[in-house]
Structure 1
Amino acid sequence: MSIRVGILGATRGLEFARAARRCGVEAEFTAVCDGYAPLLGKVKASLLELGFEPAYYTDYTGMLEETGIDAVIVANSATDHAQMAIAALERGIHVLSEVLPAQTPAQAVALVEAVERSGRHYAYAENYCYFRANLEAAMRFRRGDIGDLVAGEADFINDCSQRWHLLTRGLRGHWRNHVPATFYCTHSLGPLFYATGRRPVRVTGFEIKNQEYLRIHGARNGSAAMEIVELDDGSYFKSLHGNLKRPWVTRLNLFGTRGSIESRNAGEFTVYRENEAATGYNDFDTLPGTFSPVPGVAEAIAQNAEAFILAAFLGAIRGDANLARYSIGIYQALDMALPGMFAHRSVLAGGAPVAIPDFRRQADRDKYRDDNRCTDPGVAAGEELLPSYSRGEIAIPDEVYEREATLAAEAMEKQFRLGML
């Protein structure tokens, strides 16, 4: 069954096309849309090398209505995914959404109901869940290797300051310059929820203050964040994520009643399990860090997060129950994302714990249906427009954004790398 796939967001979308070719995922990329026209010519050459000749658009509605696509990868600005996903679902088009699923509770409610009405498949492309080490942690936890969940913690450290101009292109209103530090939380929290299947019920948020190494590029928000998340079974997750000064790293720890699982970056993991013949001296067995086969998934696909996400998404559309079980649906996507959304409200309340709604429930949907409180002036106004930073407004002169725009334009001509930024 051939599935015609469109891409919204050329830079990130290209990674999925490359992964499909590299790992043997059957997909036909027939349309690409990006609002930044200079990208399209560069992407066109790369896709042609891969054997794809899609139609190119700068207008998303045009792509949805004129190309006959069956599915779309929504990989544009992280704050705009909900409305783009809804537009596709309303036209009967399956959606694979990049992170994050929604910017506000009202958007989240609208998205849930659009998915339910459409009967189409919605999948959340939280690629950190599909890193090989995190997949292994999930499989081992689910089969009971460390007993019942006690706690979990995860880090996602990614200092983007040196490439801020490439990411924001000098736009004052770019989401990276104004979203709360807690917002981009699913690279850390996502793998914890994916492994355990738990649901968040309450969050306490902590904002790490705005750092000069980001402020000089135009960032007006906290530079990193922490969340403590209470779960529906009484256990807790801890998350640390953001622009901290070290090379990129992601770590996951799951603590159970019989041991723990640790993973680091894409391919390292360790399992510690309490020795059944414990002598009283903190005896643990360290299990071999070898990967298990992923049932029903070729190892080439299991080794590549984007390929796995795409294979699971397309498999669900084709009715392949084995692949579909690996896909992240709308409810779990929001379990991963809502803690960051509500953690900012906790920060603004001086660190008070804040309840997290469950949009599986009608009563919670009705309570938040009109709640668009966020830091985006394009979405919220008046009392609904929240401060980006709890310690006061940060004034950035226009000259900063003009300089960043110049650097971005120069990089596009001389050194821009297509693919993930």
Structure 2
Amino acid sequence: MAVTQKTDGNRIRVGVVGVGRGMSFANGAPFVGMELVALCDTWEAKLHEAGKKLDVTTYTDYEQFLSHDMDAVVLANYFHQHAPFAVKALETGLNVMTETMACGTPAEGVALARAVDKSGKIFLFAENYPYFAYNQEMRRLYQNNEVGELQYAEGEYNHPFDSQGYNRLSPGLNHWRNWIPSTYYCSHALAPIMFITDTHPVNVNALSIPRSESDTEKLSVQRGDPGGIILCRMDNGSVVRIMGLKMRGHGVWYRIHGTRGLMENLRSGTPGSLRVQHEPWDLREGDEGEKIYVPDFSHHAEEARQAGHGGGDFFTNYHFAEAIRKNETPYFDVYRGLEMAMVGIQAWRSCLGNGTPFEIPDFRRESVRKAYENDNWSPWPEHEGPGQPPPSINGFNPPSEDAIAYAREVWDEMGYEGE
């Protein structure tokens, strides 16, 4: 099946897969000159509601959706299922923007890299956290040598939930959030550091933090561990520490140590504050030893302030549209997306080996692709079989009967009719 590109000047017709998270992309499309023309999801009630609200064609079948007259697709389906959907869209001749993560297995990553190369189409990995105002400001400062070269950094994305909240977020015993290992959702913590410093991860080792019997929140059906710590060796020799994912104490935080200074967003005080600090011997004329301020967006500030995820949801749409119009590879291309996915996957291998280091493969190179093209290692339930890893360092952690009963109560209230 092939679709002829119909982009008329600046007009880009786009379809969105997923009417949960995908609604942010759908609602934001007009702000960057894209026209929403189709939606696709298997949850029919929510799909029809969204289609009626936005007055667009709806599909429950992905193949039929791909035949719609459009130029691009946004994939906001389940976390680990993007790559096969992306490959089909690229083979159809469509530009693709995909939510995190870029691939669910190494083999899927190889297939995606090959499909992007073969298609010649735009692929953008929709990682939104780099586009917070303070992260964009840190990139500007880093590019201007404000703190020198990266030596060490920390990235933290920690988002705890109570049992009710987690069950609402993950309807179904086999929902991906109920099986995700503690290292897989790493891109919100890692991507801003890669963006600020233009570095790439080349090696990881990691440790997972298991659930405690004293934890009072016992009525979700999640099987994975609540936390993980990843150490990444970057291509310039620096070290990046990644922390997440569901420990007590919500936090989104980034800290950059360079050869002539430090910068970080503040954990407390005025939201969005940035701190830049220099030692006395590194001060240049006009420098301050410490400066704390709240940066704004350098462009499209009004649109960004109206968007979700600190403006990031606007900028992912914006950069996708710009890449299509200019036919230019976006910053968060397929390879940066795959690097982050492989950090999560290889870090989980490390956790199960009590911290053994693993390489981050460079899927730009066909020789490396060959080594991983049959690597289907996966914790996801649909891939269950001999040799597949558990979602926790303590094994498969089947949920209790009480937890299942409570989860079903929550799902019934939501109108969810699945397993």
- Whether contact under 8 Å (1:5, 1:71) holds in the other structure is yes
Question: Which residue is equivalent to 2:239?
Answer: 236
Who is 2:144 aligned against?
143
Most deviating of 307-316 and 355-364: 355-364
Q: Paired residue for 1:401, among 397, 404, 411? A: 404
Q: How many residues align?
A: 393
Report matched runs for 1:167-246 at 5 Å: 167-169=169-171, 171-211=172-212, 212=215, 215-246=218-249
Alignment of 1:339-418 (within 5 A): 339-383=343-387, 385-397=388-400, 400-412=403-415
Output the amino acid matched with 2:141.
R
The Cα of 1:276 is off from its aligned counterpart by: 4.5
For residues 70-122 of structure 1, what are the alpha-carbon distances to aligned partners after superposition, in whole Å with 9 as ceiling and x for unaligned?
Answer: 11110011010111111111101111110110111111111111111111100
Deviation at 1:320, TM superposition (A): 6.9
State the SS of the aligned residue for 2:70: coil
Could you say which residue in structure 1 is the equivalent of 2:27?
18
Report the counterpart of residue 323 of structure 2 in structure 1. 316
| 1:100 aligned partner | 101
Report if aligned partners of 1:373, 1:380 keep a CA contact under 8 Å in 2.
no
Match of 1:55 in 2: 57
Q: Contact 1:181 / 1:242 at 8 angstroms: preserved in 2?
A: yes
Q: How has the CA–CA distance of structure 1 residues 277 and 343 changed in structure 2, closer, same or farther, with 3 Å as cutoff?
A: closer
Measured against aligned partners, the alpha-carbon deviations of 1:216-275 in whole angstroms (never above 9, x if no partner) come to 2111111111101111121100011111122x3200001101101102587221111233
CA contact 1:214–1:223 (8 Å) conserved in 2: no
Structure 2 CA distance, aligned partners of 1:367 and 1:214? 42
Q: CA deviation at 1:302?
A: 4.7
Q: Which amino acid aligns with 2:365?
A: R
Q: Could you tell me whether the CA contact under 8 Å between 1:273 and 1:287 is conserved in 2?
A: no
Q: Distance in 2 between matches of 1:219 and 1:213?
A: 14
Amino acid across the alignment from 1:217:
S
Residue 352 of structure 1 aligns to a residue in which SS? coil
Match of 2:3? none
1:318-343 Cα offsets, whole Å, 9 max, x none, are 1176xx65x41011112222111101
Unpaired segments ≥5 residues, structure 2: 1-9, 306-310
Unaligned runs of 5+ in 1: 414-421
Q: What is the deviation of 1:359?
A: 1.0
SS at match of 1:358: coil
Measured in 2, the distance between the counterparts of 1:199 and 1:332 equals 8
**In percent, how many aligned pairs have the same letter?**
30
- Pairing partner for 1:32 from 39, 49, 52: 39
Q: Deviations over 1:348-399 (max 9, x none)?
A: 112111222111122211111100111123135212x111111233122466
TM-score in terms of structure 2 length: 0.88
Change (3 A) 1:277 1:261: closer
Compare 197-206 and 398-407 and name the one that shifted more: 398-407
Q: How big is the shift at 1:410?
A: 1.0
Alignment-mate amino acid for residue 271 of structure 1: V
Contact 1:154 1:251 in 2 (8 A): yes
Give the letter for the 2:259 counterpart: T
Distance in 2 (alpha carbons) for counterparts of 1:91 and 1:312: 22
RMSD of aligned alpha carbons: 2.2
Compared CA separation, residues 412 and 269, structure 1 to 2 (3 A) = farther
Aligned to 1:270: 275
Q: CA deviation at 1:214?
A: 5.8
SS of 2:263 mapped into structure 1:
strand
Q: Which residue of 2 aligns with 1:64?
A: 66
Task: Identify the residue that residue 132 of structure 2 maps to in structure 1.
Answer: 131
Quick one: structure 1 residues 189 and 293, their matched pair in 2 at CA, closer, same or farther if it must change by over 3 Å? closer
**What SS class does the counterpart of residue 381 from structure 2 fall into?**
coil
Paired letter, 2:127: E
Instruction: Return 340-349 or 357-366, whichever deviates more.
Output: 357-366
CA distance in 2, matches of 1:292, 1:132: 6
Partners of 1:213 and 1:39 in 2: how far apart? 33
- Kept in 2, the 8 Å contact 1:249–1:264? The answer is no
Displacement of 1:185 in angstroms is: 0.5
The one-letter amino acid of 1:168's match is S
- Displacement of 1:405 after TM fit? 3.1
TM-score, normalized by length of structure 1?
0.87
Contact 1:149 1:235 in 2 (8 A): yes
Q: Distance in 2 between matches of 1:269 and 1:190?
A: 18
Contact 1:79 1:100 in 2 (8 A): yes
Tell me the residue number matched to 1:418: none
